[in-house]
Structure 1
Amino acid sequence: MLVYHLPGTFETREAHLDLLWEAGATGLEERAGLIRAYFDAPADVHPDIADGEWQEEAEQDWQAEFRRTLRPVKAGRLTIVPPWLVQEVEAGQVPLIIEPGMAFGTGHHATTRMAVEALSELDLAGLRVLDVGTGSGVLAIAAALLGADHAVGVDIDPITIPIARENAEINSVPARRSRFEEGSLGLGDADWQDRPFDVLVANLYAELHDLLAGEYAAHMQADAPLILTGILTGKLPLVREALEREGFGAVQVREDGEWVLLTARAPAAR
């Protein structure tokens, strides 16, 4: 079995994964800061990921190994869990079932867990929540399970949308309480952007938070909670400056290793 080892960072992960699938990878996993791509035969990889290394390993069922090592992740009132481990969710915890697949967001990354924890601390009953860069839909689904009246997940990658919808169905979240659409803030005339949201959560890298900070403010009710993660500690000043520029207040920082989550309040009505 041929394995292509490629260094991975949060900023480049999704682009690298897409290129590896396109090159013919039969499976992908992340381990110790490396993306491991499994191939049946040698393949030409895109020049952007040509700094990886090929290695021949003994044949194994990588999917079975992945399933064996995956564990439930407790995040506030929810436990993020694959379908085959639902029975391991502790009493009193709400299971958030995510089928691991091509879309980013199984809940095992610190950024996803911190975002679910932050949502779990809010009273979402009756509120509208927007999840920007939804991936597998985990944060929008979490909001719905925590009581949100309606959760919208948007992503520029069309591959993610059917996966997110399937995950919502697995969690028995009805379509009237969740919606997943391809798109981005401020682009087009999508009807999901027709009125401000009560909560906005986004797990994106720092440069995108900087770019989108003004759109976050434009899509939120005055003083609404904002939850941002996907931020490396070294990029924290960039995001804090963006929030200050757009008038966000009550900024608080939480850290987990090299990752940061920011919470803030939307500016008052302008």
Structure 2
Amino acid sequence: MRWAQVSVVTTHEGADLIGNILMELGAAGTEIDDPSLVNAYIDAGLWDYTDLPRAEDTETVTVRAYLPEDARLEESLLTLAARIEGLRLTDAPIGAGTVSHTFVADEDWAETWKAYIHTEKIGRRIVVRPTWEEYTAQGDEIVIDLDPGAAFGTGAHATTAMCLRWLEHIVCPGMRVYDVGCGSGILAIAASKLGAGEVIAMDYDPVAVAVAEENIRQNGVTNVVTCQSDLLAVCEGLAQAELITANIIADIIIRLFSQLDRNLAPGGVFLASGIISDRIADVERAAQENGFTVLDMTCEKEWAAMIIRRTSDMIS
């Protein structure tokens, strides 16, 4: 079998969104061609890069992945194009979003990728285990079973890892949780295994919903976690949540503030991640304008995760 190397031209902030789609279409992993990294190496004086010209355009990155050349490939490419257009309609910062593909020599990319993905402990208790590895929980550890080839969000990315670490501190027994833009469902599953009493995972992308539902079933938490199509709009008329998580992008997080007040219970916490470093000030400003305050923040690489609460809750 040959493999199609699929390339999508996007932006730094759009790279995770595009990677999400490619993983859900069956890619075993993604690689990112980022010209700003080459410039950083040149500036650092690393000899391997001294003969390379500095990149002029450092805002454009290319995300690549490998899909099998089988009966599903044409449909996968059409789905990719349609979902990129869907992101564009939501004003997601994906840049050009152009798609191209070439065919490469026969190689089992999925099996090759497995050599680089292993069981990983994130935080004090959470262990993320790829489905092909064996692992027995130690002490009070909780194990989340996920196949990186099935969906984006295994805990390896900084935005997801920061959220998982925060969940260990925030989730209380019986807590009601809304996971907005759930992707693989990893945060919803973690919240349920940490003791949440009811979790609603939601994503506007029906493919992500299907992937999350399978992961929820595989982890045996269907009695706690349900999955819905759409974002916070599906929670209208439901009880408010003590915790709302959103590991998306800054632009969507900013738009969520207009709905947050009626969906977050008094004293509740909004855990927002997927915020690239140069958008931190924008999110802080939007929080303040909508009556919320950023209480705490963790940063890893070029990403930030924020703990946000109503300003009035802090005063009272």
The TM-score range, normalised by the shorter chain, is 0.7 to 0.9
Shift of 1:73: 2.7
| 1:225 Cα deviation after fit | 1.4
Partner SS state of residue 221, structure 1? strand
Matched with 1:180 is 227
Aligned-pair CA distance for 1:72: 2.1
CA contact (8 A) 2:177 2:196 kept: yes
Answering whether residue 51 of structure 2 is matched by residue 3 of structure 1, we say: no
RMSD: 3.0
In the TM superposition, residue 182 of structure 1 has moved relative to its aligned partner by 0.6
d(CA) in 2 for partners of 1:258 and 1:61? 32
**1:18-29 counterparts in 2 under 5 A?**
18=21, 27=27, 29=29
Counterpart of 1:36 (choices 43, 65, 71) is: 65
3-state SS in 1 of match to 2:298: strand
Corresponding residue of 1:211: 255
Q: Say whether 1:14 aligns with 2:6.
A: no
1:57 Cα deviation after fit: 3.8
Matched residues in 1 for 2:32 and 2:138: separation? 28
SS in 1 for 2:196: coil
C-alpha displacement of 1:235: 0.8
Q: Is the 8 A contact 2:26 2:150 kept in 1?
A: no
5+ residue gaps, structure 2, are: 34-62, 86-95
User: Conserved in 2, the CA contact under 8 Å of 1:152 and 1:192?
Assistant: no
Q: Higher mean Cα deviation, 91-100 or 62-71?
A: 91-100
8 A Cα contact 1:72 1:88, kept in partner: no
How far is 1:266 from its partner? 2.9
Say how many residue pairs are matched: 262
For residues 72-108 of structure 1, give each alpha carbon's deviation from its aligned partner in whole angstroms, at most 9, with x where no partner exists.
Answer: 2322221112122241655542111112345322221
Change (3 A) 1:195 1:21: closer
Paired residue for 2:296? 252
State the Cα distance separating 1:184 from its structure 2 match: 2.0
**Structure of greater relative contact order (alpha carbons < 8 Å, 6+ residues apart):** 2
CA distances 1:111-142 after superposition (whole Å, capped 9, x unpaired): 11110110011242111011000111111111
- Code of the residue aligned with 1:14 in structure 2: it is L
Q: Which amino acid in 2 is paired with 1:244?
A: Q
Work out whether residues 14 and 104 of structure 1, in 8 Å CA contact, stay in contact via their aligned partners in 2.
no
Q: Would you say 1:200 and 2:244 are equivalent positions? A: yes
Q: Which has the larger radius of gyration?
A: 2
Q: In 2, Cα distance between the equivalents of 1:58 and 1:163?
A: 29
Partner amino acid, structure 1, of 2:27: G
Contact 1:16 1:49 in 2 (8 A): no
Partner of 1:140: 188
Q: Which moved further from structure 2: 94-103 or 60-69?
A: 94-103
**Alpha-carbon deviations, 1:173-203, whole Å to 9, x = none?**
132x111111222x3xx46751210111100
Query: Corresponding residue for 1:221?
Result: 265
* Residue number among 62, 82, 87 corresponding to 2:130 in the alignment: 82
| Conservation of the 8 A alpha-carbon contact between 2:66 and 2:109 | no
Alpha-carbon displacement from aligned partner over 1:207-255 (angstroms, at most 9, x marks no partner): 1111111212221012211111001001111111111111123521211
Q: Structure 1's 254 and 100: CA in aligned 2 closer, same or farther, altered over 3 A?
A: same
The one-letter code of the counterpart of 2:239 is: R
What is the alpha-carbon distance in structure 2 between the residues aligned to residue 198 and residue 209 of structure 1?
18
Secondary structure of 1:255's aligned partner: strand
3-state SS, counterpart of residue 271 of structure 2? strand
Contact 1:127-1:150 within 8 A present in 2 as well:
yes
Partner of 2:199: 151
TM-superposed deviation, 1:51: 6.5
> In the alignment, which residue of structure 1 is the partner of 2:117?
70
Percent identical among aligned pairs is 24
Q: Structure 1 residues 56, 250: CA separation in 2 closer, same or farther (over 3 Å shift)?
A: closer
Deviation at residue 65 of structure 1 after TM alignment: 1.1
Normalized against structure 2, the TM-score is what?
A: 0.73
- Does the C-alpha gap of structure 1 residues 120 and 6 become closer, same or farther in structure 2, counting only changes over 3 Å? same
